[in-house]
Structure 1
Amino acid sequence: GGWCSYTYDDLPISKEIESLAWKSIAARLIRAQYVVEPSNWTDFDVEKFYLNLLHQVEVFLDQNPTVCKLPKIAYDLIMGLNWHQIGMQRRSNWLDLHTMINGKVDALITELPEDVVPLGYVIKCKNRDKLKDRLAKRHIFCPVHWQLPNIINEDNFPESVALSQQCLTLPIDQRYSFDDMARIAEVVQSEL
């Protein structure tokens, strides 16, 4: 998820968005507990439940772009985060994963500038969707970014279409450690 920041204080409060924020937080808390504890990985009902909650939130937001005040709970959570530490951990994870799989995968970005905090480690692969499914079965959940709408003419934008169909973002966020990066590297290499 994400948000766009405005400096206007007079934006309306949306009860619907407030409700979605709570639903998203609940799903993320359930997912965090599910992902962090390997003994939970066999409870597919829990996985299905939180994925369904997240899907409901994302579908609504995709179909109903809204300009409103950020829900207070979301604002409070954001303000309580140590952004410097988060950035350092993401950079460390990206660099560790890059060291482990560099040359073994087709990385979209091969150098991390000093002032950049990465969202993930993006790789390109021809069978992206199959790899994504195989990784999910091993409890490595990789988002697909840059999905293009069907109205994009493939003949006019072949590079954009190829990236849209081949890019997969490996997770490197602050919840992960060096050991997690080693596991992700091992699983990705075994599945390619």
Structure 2
Amino acid sequence: MDSIIKVFKSKGTIVIEDITHRLLSEQPYCNESDYKVASLRKWFAIPSGGLAVKQKGKFSRQTLKLPLSSIINTKINAMSKKAEYIKEYEKKTLIKESGKENFSEMYSRFNKSLYLDYKSIEIDGVSRSILSTIDIYTIKKKRRENASYIHKAVKKFNNIKPLISNHDFTKDCPLFFPIRARKDIRDALKNYLIANRMYCPIHWPIPNEFCLSTDTSDVYQEELSLICDQRYDLYDMERLVNTIGGFFGTI
């Protein structure tokens, strides 16, 4: 994005850069941006938390209000119930989907509350405490190792390829590892991974309000983000790649 940001800056545009996806990389932002914002919840298992930086000067509003404890507790309970659900699902002891509906409803309540009142709220105490104890070095190391493994391993498949061909994992720390799968098989691959308890998201939904070029539309319809975060090790990455191979053995 840096080259694009520089073009806007040359025209006198104020630039607010979302640095979430490059937050843990060696160069986490463009020096030309006026403001930097990031979600911390996408990287770490915390109930709340974001980052906002002003390149020059100070924010006009300095005082932040505490989040409602009831809302934060809703998010914490939802995270706990989701963890329990996944644990039971992996043991194949769940018969009904009621557990999933329960924590999904809690997530919806939290998101709705955040939507209705999100301005000038500081991070909650639980999230702040967790962030103060995490090992950033280990997190970046594991993500880079996992992504590097995937990058090398998926080259053997003809029907998928890395979305970004050249990576420098000595400097870049990925949030996910995005691939492109043929549009006629992308959704089937995603569902096959889900059936094998691997939940890989799609970034992002196709925007309705814009006319997209054919090339850009293809990216939306072919992109799939493979997980590579710090919860997993190289054994998990091997299992992920082998499962993808299993999918191609079925088509």
Same fold, judged at TM 0.5 (above): yes
Moved more, 95-104 or 138-147: 95-104
Inter-partner Cα distance in structure 2 for 1:61 and 1:106: 39
Inter-partner Cα distance in structure 2 for 1:148 and 1:77: 35
Q: Is contact 2:78-2:104 (8 Å) kept?
A: no
Q: Does 1:25 align with 2:71?
A: no
Q: Does 1:106 align with 2:164?
A: no
Alpha-carbon offset, residue 158 of structure 1: 2.9
Moved more, 69-78 or 50-59: 50-59
Moved more, 104-113 or 52-61: 52-61
Inter-partner Cα distance in structure 2 for 1:176 and 1:29: 15
- TM-score scaled by length of structure 1: 0.80
1:92-124, Cα deviation, whole Å (9 max, x unpaired): 111112222224121112332121111122111
Amino acid of the structure 2 residue aligned with 1:96? Y
Percent sequence identity over matched residues?
Answer: 19
How many residue pairs are counted as aligned between the two chains? 187
Q: What RMSD, in angstroms, separates the aligned Cα atoms of the two structures?
A: 2.9
Q: Is contact 1:17-1:71 (8 Å) kept?
A: no
- TM-score scaled by length of structure 2: 0.63
Unaligned runs of at least 5 residues, structure 1: none
Q: Is contact 1:90-1:174 (8 Å) kept?
A: yes
Structure with more of its chain in strand, by fraction: 2
Q: Is contact 2:74-2:110 (8 Å) kept?
A: no
Inter-partner Cα distance in structure 2 for 1:108 and 1:64: 36
Alpha-carbon offset, residue 30 of structure 1: 2.6
Structure with more of its chain in helix, by fraction: 1
Alpha-carbon offset, residue 160 of structure 1: 2.7
Inter-partner Cα distance in structure 1 for 2:189 and 2:225: 11
Q: Does 1:97 align with 2:150?
A: yes
Partner of 2:140: 87
Q: Which has the higher contact order (CA 8 A, sep 6+)?
A: 1
1:131-150, Cα deviation, whole Å (9 max, x unpaired): 21111011011011122322
Unaligned runs of at least 5 residues, structure 2: 1-40, 43-48, 54-60
Q: 1:34 to 1:102 in 2, by over 3 A?
A: farther
